[in-house]
Structure 1
Amino acid sequence: MPPAPLAVSLGDPAGIGPELLCRAWLARDEQRLMPFFVVGGAKVLAAAAKACGLDVPINPITEPADAATVFAGGLPVLGALDAEYRPGQPDTSGAKLALHSLQRASDLAASGVAAGVVTAPVSKARLVEVGFAHPGQTEYMAAVCERPVEDAVMMLAGPQLRTVPVTVHCALLQVPALLTAALIEHRTRIVAAALREDFGLENPRIAVAALNPHAGEEGAFGDEESTIIQPALDALTAAEIDVTGPHPADALFAPRARQNYDAAICMYHDQALIPLKALDFDAGVNVTLGLPIVRTSPDHGTAFDIAGKGIADAGATIAALKMAGEIATRRAAS
């Protein structure tokens, strides 16, 4: 039996999410996408399609399982909650819709009714205004699954690179204090397991970036490499995980270096996201590892400035849907 359809959260209705979901539905056959449905926002989606000149019929459904039946004829939408479509003008009603959509889509994935959840871009600032109490959607997924936040590992994956930040949504000043050998080891173990089980890599190779310039230059620029990162590497090597480092981050993402690993573990948010977005911005996927549910998201934001203008690239949204379908299928077959 094929997996159940994917649940998709609408994202902020004032952003580019709705139009990109419409474009993804139009590419369903060419990209061989698994059937998916959007939670809420039928009116928003129809208006976004019209604004961008897209012919996308909206098919309301009452049960997630109905998505597979109607997917070929229109974009399935579950639920009646909606908002006005005001591209580039985020407001409270839109944030409430985005939060409801995220919560329902995640719950459907957690209950197994959906094969996974794909989350469209949200404005964290707007969500906080309507009661969202998490640093980001990755941390929210951990809460949905009732898992420690350390278990929810953010991987940014594109055609040319996979990166994982050990510390995520925090000030750069806080990073050295948050880094521990135990945290690096824990998250790297999750990455190694996911590369095998979700991505089908039999013997994954993992490179670990240094925190400081020149990997600390033997202590001249900091000692975190020897006191924190190296002990984690020693423990991982003892566990027969193919890991190398700490590598100076300024050379780790060069073309020749990327041939030597399947994923790079980075010490902080921008160390991981800058190279991924520089190389794979229009095809980058944020995938959450370490949880019992499948969750992916396009690795870009709401882009309020171009919403509704028909110029946003749907590549990352399509890639997120495709990756979620592939992981769900692999898990169902295991």
Structure 2
Amino acid sequence: MSKPRIAIVPGDPSGIGPELIARLLNEEGVLEAADIVLVGDSHLWRQGADQAELPVTLNTIDERQIATQSGLSHLEMETIAPEDVKISEVTVAGGTTSLRCLDKALDLAQAGLVDGVLFAPFNKAAMTSAGLNAEDEHKYMARYLGFEGHHSEINVLDALMTTRVTSHIGIKDVAANISQEGVAKAVNLAHDTLRRAGQERPRIAVAALNPHAGDNGKFGREEIDILEPAIKKFQDKQMNVTGPWPSDTVFLKAMRGEVDAVVTMYHDQGQIAIKLMGFERGVTVAGGLPIPVATPAHGTAFDIAGQNKANVGATQQAFELLVRMAKNHRADRNA
């Protein structure tokens, strides 16, 4: 199979995104793994190269050449003036360039010119000021693509994925928003994403909501009334789904490599565990979207922006996972 083609956007220029991409492009094996199209203003890529003190060669092409281009190429954009890049500051200009470059990369993916999109960290406050008008970039991308199916952020650490039944809501509202349908959507999202990444029979563990998995109803009935019936439906389909496991031990199973994904009930139930296990290797996948999209799980790191201190580990993990997903996406599209 030919190499997949990946579009890369620089993220918020006030943060470490441009530096991270410069570092990624200089990592061993990256340019051999995929054909890469850098989407964004040329001065942002030069900024990243200067910050990282590493070379980045810009082979600028136009959109008509992308389908036949191999290696590293650059699609020029004019989204922000150099003097409007303010390192370590939240700006409307930074949010505007983030959205415009992302839009172009999504356009290329929808047109079949690229097989996946990698974006360096965005700043949500900057994007909101520039017109994001969505809960987060994942909801924004779904709306932009006209996708109405189930989608959600997936967090990945090495070979482990996590999805969640509820996400950006208050803790007081979590129990009321746990349903069999919600559990099923989260499990299916993990299962389908792992399959796209090459895992033929994913092993999925479902975390409990209550302490001690409810202790037979003593601490709540969500496990008995919702989680157990939902899990049984998957088991009846011969899918490798187990639980509900107490949330204070389920990630021990994950650390031992006994499962490929953990489905949690709320945001921090999984986020705290996975970030403690490997913050600098974490990846976020836009799960469920019709095209593969990934990014490092950390933020724009304004505290070290422009200081040649950015750690490329999570960005490289995101790239490697995206390459695997993009290969399967291309195969499915051409089937």
TM more than 0.5: yes
CA distance in structure 2 between the partners assigned to 1:292 and 1:36 by the alignment: 20
Closer/same/farther in 2, CA of residues 298 and 63 from structure 1, 3 Å limit: same
Which residue is equivalent to 1:119?
119
Deviation at 1:122, TM superposition (A): 1.0
CA distance in structure 1 between the partners assigned to 2:2 and 2:154 by the alignment: 26
The question of 1:291 aligning with 2:273 is answered no
Which residue is equivalent to 1:34?
34
Question: Residue 181 of structure 1 contacts residue 228 of structure 1 at CA under 8 Å; is this kept in 2?
Answer: yes
Q: State the Cα RMSD in Å.
A: 2.3
User: After the TM superposition, which of the residue ranges 161-170 and 179-188 deviates more from structure 2?
Assistant: 161-170
Question: Residue 162 of structure 1 contacts residue 276 of structure 1 at CA under 8 Å; is this kept in 2?
Answer: no
Which residue is equivalent to 1:300?
298
Deviation at 1:24, TM superposition (A): 0.7
Gaps of 5+ in 1: none
CA distance in structure 2 between the partners assigned to 1:63 and 1:286 by the alignment: 28
Deviation at 1:129, TM superposition (A): 1.1
User: After the TM superposition, which of the residue ranges 255-264 and 85-94 deviates more from structure 2?
Assistant: 255-264
CA distance in structure 2 between the partners assigned to 1:125 and 1:310 by the alignment: 24
CA distance in structure 1 between the partners assigned to 2:81 and 2:269 by the alignment: 37
Which residue is equivalent to 1:199?
197
Which residue is equivalent to 1:166?
165
| Residues 54-203 of structure 1 mapped to structure 2, 5 A cutoff | 54-63=54-63, 65-66=65-66, 69=69, 71-72=71-72, 76-84=74-82, 85-148=85-148, 151-196=150-195, 198-203=196-201
Paired residue type of 1:82: I
Deviation at 1:183, TM superposition (A): 1.2
Which residue is equivalent to 1:219?
217
User: After the TM superposition, which of the residue ranges 95-104 and 28-37 deviates more from structure 2?
Assistant: 28-37
Deviation at 1:245, TM superposition (A): 0.6
CA distance in structure 2 between the partners assigned to 1:139 and 1:252 by the alignment: 29
Deviation at 1:160, TM superposition (A): 5.0
Deviation at 1:110, TM superposition (A): 2.2
Paired residue type of 1:298: P
Paired residue type of 1:243: V
Question: Residue 11 of structure 1 contacts residue 17 of structure 1 at CA under 8 Å; is this kept in 2?
Answer: yes
Deviation at 1:209, TM superposition (A): 0.3
Structure 2 residue matching 1:305: 3-state secondary structure:
coil
Structure 2 residue matching 1:253: 3-state secondary structure:
helix
Deviation at 1:103, TM superposition (A): 1.5
Closer/same/farther in 2, CA of residues 155 and 31 from structure 1, 3 Å limit: farther
Structure 1 residue matching 2:19: 3-state secondary structure:
helix
Paired residue type of 1:179: I
Structure 1 residue matching 2:294: 3-state secondary structure:
strand
Deviation at 1:70, TM superposition (A): 6.7
Paired residue type of 1:188: V
Cα deviations by residue, 1:8-60 (Å, 9 ceiling, x for unpaired) = 22211101111001111111536743122232232122123213322223333
Gaps of 5+ in 2: none
Closer/same/farther in 2, CA of residues 141 and 64 from structure 1, 3 Å limit: farther
CA distance in structure 1 between the partners assigned to 2:229 and 2:328 by the alignment: 33
Closer/same/farther in 2, CA of residues 56 and 125 from structure 1, 3 Å limit: same
Closer/same/farther in 2, CA of residues 297 and 16 from structure 1, 3 Å limit: same
Total equivalences in the alignment: 330
CA distance in structure 1 between the partners assigned to 2:114 and 2:163 by the alignment: 26
Closer/same/farther in 2, CA of residues 32 and 173 from structure 1, 3 Å limit: farther
Deviation at 1:280, TM superposition (A): 2.5
Matching residue within 251, 259, 262 for 1:261 = 259
Structure 1 residue matching 2:289: 3-state secondary structure:
coil
TM-score in terms of structure 1 length = 0.90
CA distance in structure 1 between the partners assigned to 2:243 and 2:288 by the alignment: 23
Paired residue type of 1:212: N
Cα deviations by residue, 1:55-112 (Å, 9 ceiling, x for unpaired) = 223333322744974745xx62432323333321221111111111112212221222
CA distance in structure 1 between the partners assigned to 2:221 and 2:289 by the alignment: 33
Closer/same/farther in 2, CA of residues 83 and 228 from structure 1, 3 Å limit: farther
Question: Residue 20 of structure 2 contacts residue 48 of structure 2 at CA under 8 Å; is this kept in 1?
Answer: no
Question: Residue 77 of structure 2 contacts residue 101 of structure 2 at CA under 8 Å; is this kept in 1?
Answer: no
Which residue is equivalent to 1:13?
13
Paired residue type of 2:300: T
Deviation at 1:300, TM superposition (A): 0.8
